[in-house]
Amino acid sequence: MSTDHMNIDIHTYQVPSRLLDSKKCPKPHIDAIEKYKQLYEESIKDPQTFWGRTAKELLHWHKPFETVLTGSGFEYGDVAWFREGELNASYNCVDRHALVNPKKTAIIYEADEPGNSRHITYEELLRDVCRLAITLKELGIKKGDTVAIYMPMVPEAVVAFLACARLGAVHSVVFAGFSSDALRDRIQDASSRLVITSDEGMRGGKTISTKKIVDDAVKDCPTIEHVLVFRRTGSDVPFSAPRDLWWHEEIEKHRPYCPPEIVNAEDPLFLLYTSGSTGKPKGVLHTTAGYLLGAAITFKYVFDYHENDIYGCMADIGWITGHTYIIYGPLLNGGTTVLFESTPVYPTPSRYWEVVAKHKITQFYTAPTAIRLLRRYGNDYVKDHDLSSLRIIGSVGEPINPEAWEWYYEVVGRKECTVVDTYWQTETGSIIITPLPGATATKPGSATFPFFGIDPVILDPTTGEEIKGNNAEGVLAVRQPWPSMARTVYKNHHRYLDTYLKPFKGYYFTGDGVGRDNDGYYWIRGRVDDVINVSGHRLSTAEIESALILHHAVAEAAVIGVADELTGQCVHAFATLKPNEEKTDVKDLILQVRKVIGPFAAPRKIYIVNDLPKTRSGKIMRRILRKIVSGEADQLGDLSTINNPSIIPVLIEKVKSS
């Protein structure tokens, strides 16, 4: 993950000529690097003008704003964008397009079962959103209330997001791969009043018992008044009236129009929980106007969106990528977005390419882990499909290794598409470092240059000093506020300040290492904190350790991220057991993590040991464990602070033999 790309001779790829040929492709919004530079300079030197203009251009305001940006910068975390402005997110995503273009397809639903797809127009989407909004209103949901959404990738999930937004309610979407314990914690933290779920989910031919998981979760959630259940599979599932209500029975009672609740620019739009370096997940809070502007403008320029495009992002709506680039970004621009319920390999490793050919997708967005997996299956799965509709192919979630990048570019993109390696985070709300497809020459593995309004800096991690100029290496921070940045951690503003604004005074800190090469290109190296990235899923080592310690047999646990060819990183755990618990099976401990967090967090390996390397003050030295697992036990570095050096050979032996 931290290979130093700066010393490797990396080829630079010019913008494919096809993208600039007006007979073959629509003219890119930004079609030369000078145009990017010019707009970029304005956005940094005069953010008020840049963001004021684009906010009027890209959003519909029920009441115009007077000021663009106020607040102390990064001192108190009190920035406010467009503070007098009033608007509604669902009006911006649906109504305004339904008014002028009612028959245009908003969503193409590609169900898990191949051959099963459905088109939903903007006017249909508006009716669906309105019916559900009234349903929620009848159930007592009003502006400011939090609604949990635990749904598979069905169009009704999009309807659920937008119905909440229509009422000014705050959606808190929980990825449907999280366990009932994890769902419970997120419902409790947000005091959600209602959960929207489905009877079951379908993915890769397997069913997921979403309703059962919700039932288990809400046992300990006194704030939950109702569970609204969408029927996806029609299987018999436990149902307890009057708490549980069927989606289809409720919505048909209501007329398909509901006026939008106009909210302030800075009113919250949603919460999304993400992992940090400490145990408890953080409820990242995004507000309405700034987030929407970030989603709209990045979607327009990074995916170079044009009127007749069919855009497909393969992420899950439960993560920020799904929020911003399946739902908000495309719909704000009046686009057509593909909602893909399945996996890249179901029923065969051709599935993505079948979907691209079938719907004539023009922009395709996925994660490095999927690209690596499909590359491994070989080119035959790709080459029999007509991918000529593609113009832009994107990558997100973790650093993409040059080999995977080149395969994506050559085999999927046939050297005729721009690869956009987009860097951002749950907290940034939208893409912050990225190529622009009609303008930026790309280098495999580099996210290239900052998006408009983003002023990245490289800091020395120990002194906090800014490292200026090219050929720099350090940690990545941002100097100026941008509209879609998270405003707080829900009910824990201190944690927001401590995590993002205090580590380096005057900057937003990303938690990532970064390099800037001789040509000024940015290379994201990966996290410098205790966050690990498994298949683009963000996990905290502390969170997995807490899960393990909850097991009655475990005394202590230490979790590390280990490089993995397919998933980027995988989880390895070391555990010591309590006396008389020696018989504990490693499988039980893996199950424990699946139960507390979810299957995607399960450790690949667990080593049961007698002791962990610790400092004299009792801190576990994970650095040593990382070195041992990666076969660098001969380079353990400074061991002067270790309290129990005799454990090291024992650990080395243990790792070798398992």
By the criterion CB under 6 A, which residues form the site for ligand WT7? Answer: 274, 320-321, 396-399, 421-426, 447, 510-512, 524, 526-527, 533, 536, 538
Residue 579: how many other CB atoms lie within 10 Å = 6
CB neighbours of 372 closer than 8 A, spacing ≥ 6?
Answer: 401, 404, 565, 566
- Shortest reach from residue 397's CB to ligand WT7, in Å: 5
C-beta of 369 vs 510, nearer to ligand WT7:
510
CB of 193 to ligand WT7, least distance (A): 26
The nearer residue to ligand WT7, 82 or 273, going by C-beta atoms, is 273
Please state the closest distance from residue 400 (CB atom) to ligand WT7, in A.
7
Assess contact for 14 and 417: CB atoms under 8 A. no
* Residue 229: closest CA among 214, 216, 219: 214
Min separation Cβ 538 and ligand WT7, Å: 3
Residue with smaller CB distance to ligand WT7, 480 or 535:
535
Name the residue nearer to ligand WT7 (CB basis): 528 or 648: 528
Strands 392-396 and 418-422: parallel
Q: Which ranges of 452-514 does DSSP label H, i.e. alpha helix? A: 493-496
Q: What is the CA radius of gyration of the chain?
A: 24
Nearest 5°: the CA angle 193, 195, 198 is 165
Alpha-carbon span 355 to 144, nearest angstrom: 38
Q: How far apart are CA 397 and CA 320, in angstroms?
A: 10
Smallest gap from Cβ 424 to ligand WT7, in A, equals 4
d(CA 425, CA 428): 5
Is residue 380 within 8 Å of 350, Cβ to Cβ? Answer: no
Query: CB of 76: closest distance to ligand WT7 in angstroms?
Result: 23
d(CA 38, CA 15): 18
Query: Comparing C-alpha atoms, which of 574, 578, 596, 595 is closest to residue 586?
Result: 574
Residue closer to ligand WT7 by CB (options 92, 274) is 274
Of 162 and 532, CB closest to ligand WT7: 532
Q: Which is nearer to ligand WT7, 373 or 433 (CB)?
A: 433
Residues 6+ apart with CB under 8 A from 185: 280, 281
- Minimum Å distance from CB 340 to ligand WT7? 16
CB of 1 to ligand WT7, least distance (A): 9
Question: Residue 147 or residue 524: which is nearer to ligand WT7 going by CB?
Answer: 524
For residue 74 the two structure tokens come to 């990064």
- Cα(200)–Cα(141) distance, rounded to whole angstroms? 24
Of 396 and 589, the one with the shorter C-beta distance to ligand WT7 is: 396
Alpha-helix residue ranges (DSSP H) falling in 191-253: 210-218, 247-251
Q: Which is nearer to ligand WT7, 244 or 421 (CB)?
A: 421
**Cα–Cα distance measured from residue 148 to residue 161, given in angstroms and rounded to the nearest whole number:** 10
* Residue 373 vs 420, nearer CB to ligand WT7: 420
How far is it between the farthest Cα atoms of the chain? 75
Q: To the nearest whole angstrom, how small is the minimum distance from the Cβ of residue 370 to ligand WT7?
A: 13
Cβ distance to ligand WT7 smaller for residue 156 or 398: 398
Alpha-carbon distance of 628 to 632, in angstroms, equals 6
* Minimum distance from residue 368 beta carbon to ligand WT7 (Å): 8
Q: Which residue number, 228 or 485, has a Cβ lying nearer to ligand WT7? A: 485
Nearest residue to 485 via CA among 309, 351, 299, 285: 285
Q: Classify residue 219 as exposed, middle or buried by CB count within 10 Å of its CB (0-12, 13-18, 19+).
A: exposed
Task: Kindly state the smallest distance separating residue 395's Cβ from ligand WT7, in Å.
Answer: 6
481, HSE (Cβ side, Cα atoms, 13 Å): 24
Q: Output the CA torsion sign for 232, 237, 243, 248.
A: positive
- Of the candidates 648, 560, 622, 551, the residue with the CA atom closest to the CA atom of residue 593: 551
Q: Taking the complex as a whole, how short is the minimal distance between the CB of residue 297 and ligand WT7, in angstroms?
A: 16
DSSP 66-132: S-SEES-TTSSS--EESTT-EE-HHIIIIIHHHHH-TTSEEEEEE-SSTT-EEEEEHHHHHHHHHHH
Angular region, 445: left φ>0, alpha ψ -120 to 50, beta rest: left
Q: CA 443, CA 636: separation in Å to the nearest integer?
A: 34
When the beta carbons of 25 and 392 are compared against ligand WT7, the nearer one is 392
Region label for 461, one of left (φ > 0), alpha (ψ between -120 and 50) or beta (otherwise): alpha
Residue 56 near residue 66 (C-beta atoms within 8 A): no
Q: Tell me the closest approach of the beta carbon of residue 502 to ligand WT7, in angstroms.
A: 18
Shortest Cβ 14–ligand WT7 spacing (Å): 21
Q: In the complex with ligand WT7, which residue's Cβ is closer, 105 or 430?
A: 430
CB of 476 to ligand WT7, least distance (A): 9
Smallest separation, CB 5 to ligand WT7 (Å): 12
Which CB atom, from 307 or from 403, has the smaller least distance to ligand WT7? 403
Residue 91 half-sphere exposure toward CB, CA atoms < 13 A: 17
